[in-house]
Structure 1
Amino acid sequence: MERYDTIVVGAGMSGTTCARILQDAGQRVLVLEARDRIGGRMNTDRTAGFSVDLGASWIHGIDGSPLWDLVQALDVPTVEFTVGSFQAGGRPIEDFDGDGRRMDAAASARWVDDVARADAALLDEIASSSPGDTYLDVTERVLDRSGLEPERIDEIREFFRHRVEEQCGAWIGDLDAHGLDEDAIEGDEVIFPRGYDELPNRIAAGLDVRLSQAVTAVSRGADGVTVTAGAENFTAASVVVTVPLGVLKAGAITFEPPLPEHMAAPLGRLGMGVFNKVFLQFPERFWDEGSYAIRALGEAGELWHSWYDVSAISGRPTLLTFAAGPLGRHLQELSDAAIVTDVLTALRTLYGDAVPEPVAHWITRWGQDPYSNGSYSYQAAGTSHIDHDALAGPADGVLHFAGEATWGDEPATVGGAYASGHRAAERVLGRSVDLAEFATRIVAAENG
């Protein structure tokens, strides 16, 4: 039986990063990937002749971002799009009130100011919260003390709920009060006209990646690890498991001996959210030129509340909306036709007959994907960012976890996945690795 230095399970951003660093350091590395493609939750559909990112789309804040440094080093083109973090303002947004009426500039400015004031009060409320408090608890206490009229409170309440759904894929009452503490955005946000999965695919060039190899068991012993995929066993000195948290929580991989408590406990506590995308491409634009987003506030936006203009990617009028948390879980049980009809009904409440029938659509169902069982991790009530980092391990010095769920500073992001893969490789090697040198090696290999 062929023996490796390290086996990496999963060929997403964290897995490819970890494997490439280890191989560049001289290790014999094998990557086992359950899917028939590289990228994991970075999944770009190019069948229409342009890129549609069905999974990750954004870098949320490029200032001081190692991921942004990698993108620049690889000369990957990007487009600035700075409302992907569900910000109240900051870019041109078409706001509609709870009755579905277009808000003028003064009304929108008042709404943005209301959110800013509530968010400032929320920081203090979170800081003084008790263990076990949820994000719903702290936001309701802030709203109760706001002194605002009921309609304005409803608009902020819906905003807080939808922000949690988009950032975490979870219901606001399931998120810990500190669940968005690490969610700071520094600098512009960007999206990728050539598709985000270009990054893991370029990183993976030259690696021994075995596709359609779903790992079902990982055993560790005195002589290293044995990894089982299908009818085959692979052995190595160490293993880095980078599968999504949802796969681990489902018990799809058996660990023998069982995971130690310092890894098993956070695995049990952390949550896996559902965040699905609905892209609608139209024959012509019915919203304003230059608008970044359309947003329905209060009652009008109870279900479908935000649409993002991503036309710059395809050059055709295209809106992207999200179904996340409980709505995301419910809607992924419905047909495409039913979902499209529901979204159009919401848009026509705002724009009337100006909304034409779409000419194309793309809809995701990440909660039904057996190789992710959700979209990304979140801090369930009673957890903290420490749980994310504790999940990384290692166990017995030979079993490591990586992936966005293991990076407490920036969970639920590609940046977190990238950082976790780097950390896992450093732990396997027992030394630090310069990420600038990592990027330089990729470019040098591509240039022969």
Structure 2
Amino acid sequence: MNSFDTIVIGAGMSGVTTARMLVDAGQRVVVLEGRDRVGGRMNSDRQAGFPVDLGASWVHGIDGSPLWELVQALGIPTLEYTVGSFQVGGRPIENFDGDGKLMDAEASARWIADVEEADRLLVEEIGESSAGDTYLDVTERALDRSGLDPERIDEIREFFRHRVEEQCGAWIGDLDAHGLDEDAIDGDEVIFPRGYDELPRRISAGLDVRLGHIVSRVARSATGVVVSTGDAEFTADRVVVTVPLGVLQAGSLAFDPPLPDSVAGPIDRLGMGVFNKIFLQFPERFWNEDSYVIRALGEAGEHWHSWYDVSAVSGIPTLLTFAAGPFGRHMQELPDDEVVADVVRALRALYGDAVGEPVAHWITHWGEDRFSVGSYSHLALGSSHHDHDELAGPVDDVLHFAGEATWGDEPATVGAAYYSGRRAAERILGRAVDLDAFAAGITAREQTAGR
């Protein structure tokens, strides 16, 4: 029997943050991770000689962000890329209308103004919404009030649907009317040319992380917990469960006794979205050198609608597009070559023969990943922001939860995972953890190890 002060289940951002803070405070901690790597939904594929972030990519808004402060303290390089939150404007975007024709500056400006006005009306409709209203309900009411002609309304309707898909991985009619209330972005956004998973990898260095340990059962009592894997048992005074919401909903992790409704209720009510990435590398760039995004509006962008230029990471012309919500679930069931061909067809409808055959591609299947069963959480109809925080527990002072789904202020982000990990550690220690000291400890250990 392996005995510890605290067991942490999951070596994603929240798990390694909790474990690092507890170990720094002198606790005996083991991290049990089912995958063969740390990072969880932060997964940087480096097999091609450069990183491809198959999971999380962005810090969404660096102003006042403790996550951004950690990135800076660790000296991790970033690239400014301020469109990861599906903005309508603000950076160079090549917009194509519903017929697949490139929009000029005047048409693009009108489009941006249309969305801004519709969003203003949408905020009012959300504020006046009732329980049971979906995000689809409130967007339709806002569009009805807009007074725009039908074609312009159709383009905004499509934009609203895709915004929900990209931000939540969900169908707009399944999202609660308040599902994007916490979606504000303060300051620029950044991506990571060395790969985002550098962050959890460096935090976890020196921790007792047991890879390939798939936890099947968590038993709690007044004296502590027993955590069972396939062929081993671990005992501790407490446990911090950081597996994604999708895993909790799938029921592959058993709790004995069963979870109380204060935690089981949020698990049932919250939604877990699917958001899959498709990276395509091309022999030549066919889009504008200074464009951040290619975006097809209306009918032209019914399925594939936004392509993000991430060429700066590899130095090779590369576009990133997404398949999210019901479309994402459908696409992850198809062979990769069919997905690539479909994306290329959509691009050629905009650029014609200038679109060459891709020289490489990467495609994710997060909804089929047994260790995540989806991409990130959202407010499904019938849930509330309080459900995120209630999910954190603790239960009987021995069972804690952390992860993006447990942080109501900005769920579905790496920041949420980081902050929830800190919260779990502080609840266990009974005191605040200084984030400056946390970052300094990481760099000090690296210097001692000769990094």
- TM > 0.5: yes
Shift of 1:279: 0.2
How many pairs are equivalent? 448
Q: Tell me how far 1:443 sits from its aligned partner.
A: 0.8
1:2 offset after TM fit, Å?
2.9
Q: In 1, are the aligned partners of 2:2 and 2:233 still within 8 Å (CA)?
A: no
Q: Which residue of 1 aligns with 2:357?
A: 357
| TM-score for the superposition, normalised by structure 2 | 0.99
Q: Is the aligned partner of 1:298 residue 2:298? A: yes
Name the counterpart of 1:66.
66
Rounded to whole Å, the distance in 1 between the matches of 2:150 and 2:181 is 27
Per-residue CA deviation, residues 253-283 of structure 1 (Å, 9 max, x unaligned), is: 0000110110010110000000000000000
Counterparts of 1:74 and 1:203, CA distance in 2: 10
Residue 2 (structure 1) aligns with: 2
- 1:97 corresponding residue in structure 2: 97
Q: Quick one: which amino acid aligns to residue 157 of structure 1?
A: R
Cα distance in structure 2, aligned partners of 1:91 and 1:410: 23
- What amino acid is aligned across from residue 51 of structure 1 in structure 2? P
Unaligned 5+ segments in structure 2 are: none
What does residue 381 of structure 2 align with? 381
Instruction: Write the distance in 2 (CA, Å) between the matches of 1:175 and 1:308.
Output: 25
- Kept in 2, the 8 Å contact 1:4–1:235? The answer is yes
Aligned to 1:86: 86
- Residue matched to 1:224: 224
1:166–1:275 Cα contact (<8 Å) kept: yes
Partner of 2:400: 400
Query: 1: CA distance between counterparts of 2:2 and 2:105?
Result: 67
Task: Provide the C-alpha distance between the structure 2 equivalents of 1:316 and 1:2, rounded to a whole number of angstroms.
Answer: 48
Q: Report runs of 4+ in structure 1 exceeding 2 Å deviation.
A: none
CA offsets, 1:343-387, max 9 Å, x none?
011000000011000000000000000000000000001211100
The offset of 1:231, in angstroms, is 1.6
- The structural deviation recorded for 1:3 is 1.2
Q: Return the TM-score normalized by structure 1.
A: 1.00
Counterpart residue type for residue 76 of structure 1: I
Superposed, 1:286-325 pairs within 5 Å as: 286-325=286-325
Q: Percent identity, aligned pairs only?
A: 75
What's 2:17 paired with? 17
Q: Which amino acid aligns with 1:127?
A: G
Q: Find the residue that maps to 1:447 and give its secondary structure.
A: helix
1 CA distance for matches of 2:376 and 2:432? 27
Which residues in structure 2 correspond to 1:196-235 (within 5 Å)?
Answer: 196-235=196-235
CA contact (8 A) 2:218 2:227 kept: yes
Q: Hey, what's the Cα distance between the residues in 2 that align with 1:2 and 1:254? A: 20
Q: Which residue of 2 aligns with 1:422?
A: 422
2 CA distance for matches of 1:389 and 1:327?
29
Which whole-Å CA distance do the structure 2 matches of 1:435 and 1:256 have between them?
34
- For residue 124 of structure 1, give the secondary structure of its aligned residue in structure 2: helix
> CA contact under 8 A between 2:121 and 2:145: conserved in structure 1?
no
After TM superposition, give the deviation of residue 437 of structure 1 in Å. Answer: 1.1
Q: Map Cα deviations across residues 278-319 of structure 1 (whole Å, 9 max, x no partner).
A: 000000000001100000000000000000000000011000
Q: Distance in 2 between matches of 1:340 and 1:131?
A: 41
What secondary structure does 1:173 align onto?
helix
Q: Distance in 1 between matches of 2:173 and 2:21?
A: 40
**Cα contact 1:133–1:382 (8 A) shared by 2:** no
Distance between the aligned counterparts of 2:55 and 2:193, measured in 1?
A: 14
**Deviates most, 26-35 or 431-440:** 431-440
Counterpart AA for 1:277: K
- Mapping for residues 306-345 of structure 1, pairs under 5 Å: 306-345=306-345
Structure 1: segments with no counterpart, 5+ residues: none
Q: What are the residue-to-residue correspondences of 1:258-273 with 2, within 5 Å?
A: 258-273=258-273
Matches of 2:346 and 2:369, distance apart in 1: 27
Distance (Å, rounded) in 2 between the aligned partners of 1:46 and 1:322: 20
